[in-house]
Structures are given as C-alpha cells and as structure tokens.
Amino acid sequence: MADPASYRPRPGSIPTDPGVYRFFDAFGNVIYVGKAKNLRSRLNSYFADPSSLHFRTQTMVRTAARVEWTVVANELEALQLEYTWIQQFDPRFNVKYRDDKSYPWLAVTWNETYPRVFVGRGAKRRGTRYFGPFGQAWAIRETVDALLRVFPMRSCTDGVFKRAKASGRPCLLGDIGKCSAPCVGRVGSEEHREIADGFCRFMAGDSDRIVQELEREMFEASADLNFERAAVLRDQLAGLAKARERNTVVLPETTRADVVGFADDGQQVAVQIFHIRGGRITGERGWIADRSDDRDLAELLEPFLLQLYTGFIYAGPALVRGLNEILR
C-alpha cells in the first residue's frame, strides 16, 4: 500500500472553496468520491495521523496513489457533481446503500385494457402503478384478498384471462365474487377500470372517502328497499374494515410523509423508511451499508436521499430544484 505522504498535495495548493474530490489508485481507477464546503480543510484531514482515522478511511488513503479536486460554485453543485461521479465511476470505498432483501411491491398494470393487480418484486415497469414496498409478501397478499371482495378487479395472468375468454367461462375468482369477470363480458373495460381506480385510491390512502361513499350508497339502497344491494355494500364495508386493520394508524389522517430512521455502529449504517399515506403506514423498506469513512449521519443522509428519490429527480437544473425541495 502507498504512503499517503507520497501523494499529499503541496501546502497551500488546495483551495478553500467548495468542491468535489476524487482519490485514484495506482491503476487510475477512481476509488473514492467526496465533496466538501472547504476543500483544503477536508483533504488535509485525510493526511493526518493514520491512527486517528477511521479504519476504512485508513485503508482508502493507503490504497490511493493520487488525489484530484474540482472547484464548484456552491454546496448544491458539489452535491450534484458528487452524485454524478459516484454513478459514473462506482467507487468501491463510497457508501452504497443496498436493500437488505428484495421487498415486494403491489402493482396494478394501468396501461392494460383490463388492469391487473399482482404482488411482485424487482424493477418497475412503465405504465404500472406501484404501492409499497412492503415488509412481508404474505401480509400484502392477504390485504389484496380482502380488497378483491370490495374491488373485484382482475388478478389473473394473461394466459388465464385468454383461456377464460376463449371458453366463455370465468375462473374460480369470478364465480366466488373476487373478480368482476371482464373476460366473459360481465363488465366492460370502462366499468372494470373504475373498479381498479377504487382499488388504487384505497391503496393510496383515500380509504376514508371510499368508506363514506359506500356507506352513503348502502343507506340509499336500504331506503329504496333494495336490501340485496345494501347487503352487498355492507359486506364490502366489512372487507374494507378488515383491510384497514392491517395498516397501522400512526399520524393524523392528513399526513403524507416518508419517515427515515438511521442507526450507526461505526462499521455499518442501517436505514429504515416508512411510507405514510393518510396517516397510515402503507409500506416500508430497509437498507444496510458498509461505512468507508467517518462522515456524520447528516452527511450520509444526502446521498441516501439522492438514491431514494432518483426516480423523481433528473439531471441538470431539475436535479438542483429537486434537491432544494428534499433538503429544505
């Protein structure tokens, strides 16, 4: 391993401006990317007494063979450039937040003529609405089973749907009332999409309004002496109540937030996020990362938020505007 003193910049050569720095190994590979409000102060800390450095930081500076830096106008530009370079070079000493397991999603294929609901894992697809992720697949499957009694939308695969359509007979779910059987024309595409929309509204946290609508319809049906319809609505309300019991109420019903918790033991960082919609926990997810330096938790939070909300933030000015909202 190299001696950090062999590539330490000359005294006074490092600017005091904000910027981004890169450590390279002997083969020219970027092994670490960092940012700083004051480049001189931050970089000088890497060349202090090795015994005072974090173990992983010691390993990094002894693996490196040179260091370079780039001056930027402000801290936000430094954060943007740091993120860009981490994505480009994938430095092995940077903290990488990785899922501690593959979490299941609840997905609705909204781009199909007859939207389908299913529980899955892996990458998201365009045209599909996702809810979650959730901690346990069995729990969300039970929730879906309860909701299909209220919102009998399609949940079968394309193969099952095509076979039922060709035979003119619905599958078992259609016979027991857990599917409106669009495959055999019991409902049209627009009516089925309305059912799917109600399902999505409930999962998005609009459960109180849906309950109020069903209660109003039930009382109207009862007043019109349509007791069969009122009994169906009563059973649907019972199904919604069962599904709502699975979502713990933690905050006022107007709350829509992502709550993030950090735990650090010096060697690893664990992160847990709870997605709260309508005051209820509708999803959760966890990450574990190996520490490579001695950054405090506030500094570790920035790259985590970037990774978490990457799907909503784009490069250039949009990235800067998005970060302003997230870090405000």
Amino acid occupying residue 119: V
pLDDT in tens, 118-143: 988 777 788 898 877 676 677 678 77
Task: Report which of residues 317 and 271 the model is more confident about.
Answer: 271
Structure tokens at 284: 């959760």
At residue 7, the 3 state secondary structure works out as coil
Query: What would be the CATH architecture of the domain defined by 4-98?
Result: 3-Layer(aba) Sandwich (3.40)
Q: Residue 133, preceding bond cis, omega within 30 degrees?
A: yes
Neighbours of 248 (CB within 10 A): 11
Q: Is the dihedral of CA 98, 103, 106, 107 positive or negative?
A: positive
Task: Report which of residues 78 and 9 the model is more confident about.
Answer: 9
Give me the mean pLDDT over the 143-169 stretch: 87
φ, ψ for residue 322, nearest 5 deg: -65, -40
List, by residue range, all CATH 3.40.1440.10 domains of the chain: 4-98
What pLDDT does 315 receive? 32
pLDDT in tens, 275-295: 777 777 766 777 777 666 666
φ, ψ for residue 122, nearest 5 deg: 95, -160
What pLDDT does 320 receive? 36
Residue 243 has pLDDT above 70, yes or no: no
Residue 225 has pLDDT above 90, yes or no: no
Q: Give long-range contacts, CB 8 A cutoff, 24+ apart: 174-183.
A: 177/149, 177/152, 178/145, 178/148, 178/149, 178/152, 179/148, 179/152, 179/153, 179/154, 179/155, 180/152, 180/153, 180/154, 182/114, 182/154, 183/114, 183/154, 183/156
Confidence of residue 64 (pLDDT cuts 50, 70, 90): very high
- Judged by average pLDDT, the poorest of 35-49, 177-191, 234-248 is 234-248
Closest CA to 50 of 68, 35, 63, 34: 63
Structure tokens at 195: 């059912």
What pLDDT does 302 receive? 73
